[in-house]
Amino acid sequence: MKIDGFLLAMLCAVVLAFVAPHLGTPDGPLHMGLVTTLGIAFVFFLHGANLSPEALKAGATNWRIHVAVQATTFIVFPLIGFTIFFGLRPVLSEEVRLGVFFLCALSSTISSSVAMTSLARGNVPAAVFDASLSGIMGMVITPMLIAMVRAVSGQSFPILPAIADVAMTLLLPFAAGQIARPLIARWLAARKPIINRLDRGVIILIVYSAFCESTASGLWWSYSPWVIAQIAVIAGALLALILWLTTRLSRAWGFSLADEVTTVFCGSKKSLANGAPIAKILFAGDPAMGMIMLPIILYHQLQLIVCSMLARRYAARAEVAATDAKETVAVS
């Protein structure tokens, strides 16, 4: 069985954060606050430069898929998150509940949604459009949802400064990348593996810095392993519920198998690539940031494992359907 290098690197970062937390705090000797901020800006510049307007146009016409995916991502998921945040107040700490809600408030992934859709023989142009649109919308909607849940729970949250910070750190570099795309797109395409490693490297640095800050504050020593297990169970239950809901919705609306694949994969995914930078902005200076990020870290691994297996099942169904269609044509 092949070892997931990204998962292994993330585990090493977490272990290092427990062993030497002072190294990775924002104001520590490695200056991780500045390093991660610059890394995030550079990565989102690359995201903007890599996003093809032509690919977006190709997938923009199927409005029913777009409604299903965006409604699942930014309405259904947050409603479930609200229910967990307030319903499990007697059972879970505020940091854990906020982390679960933050997971529910995030946008869909781009790379893995498109990759899984392609593997399962789904509607790839629609997946590119929906995953990209979700990522852009999430830069504004996620801070708004966090502000909403904080306000309802009686806490203040500076929403306008938060959105301004997200715009400066994420949206502005993203827009600059789009402007620079005609000049550097071919150069970036030839170096895609390096770009992917850089993207993952920045995520690992953010996770490392967040866990260093939480460890240095003594946060982890107030939690038992049972809490981690609870978060894993909640993440698994969330994934199972959303996969079921998106499948039922797709079939109720009469989607083709290819469109169902796109809806299920884009609607169920949550982006660690967007979530880690947004968490760094929204929860900057909060010693609980490591705990807040833990649900999306666990969900990210679960969705890759489960959706990989599901993609193979969908691909097998598509193969059978294609074979049956050929036999029908041959007979007629």
> Phi and psi for 246 in degrees, rounded to 5?
-70, -35
Residue 66: predicted pLDDT? 94
Q: Check whether 326 has a pLDDT greater than 80.
A: no
Q: What is the architecture, at CATH level 2, of domain 5-324?
A: Up-down Bundle (1.20)
Question: In the chain, what are the helix, strand and coil shares in percent, each to the nearest 5?
Answer: 80, 0, 20
Token representation of residue 52: 């093809």
Calculate mean pLDDT across residues 28-32.
87
For residue 255, give the amino acid letter.
F
Residue 268: predicted pLDDT? 95
For residue 290, give the amino acid letter.
G
Calculate mean pLDDT across residues 18-38.
87
Residue 8: predicted pLDDT? 86
Q: If phi over 0 gives left and psi between -120 and 50 gives alpha, with beta otherwise, what is residue 16? A: alpha
Calculate mean pLDDT across residues 120-145.
92
Q: Check whether 332 has a pLDDT greater than 60.
A: no
Q: For 63-117, how does the pLDDT look when each residue is reduced to its tens digit (9 = 90+)?
A: 999 999 999 999 999 999 999 999 999 989 899 999 999 999 999 988 788 888 9
The residue ranges of every structural domain in the chain are: 5-324
Mean pLDDT of all residues belonging to the chain? 88
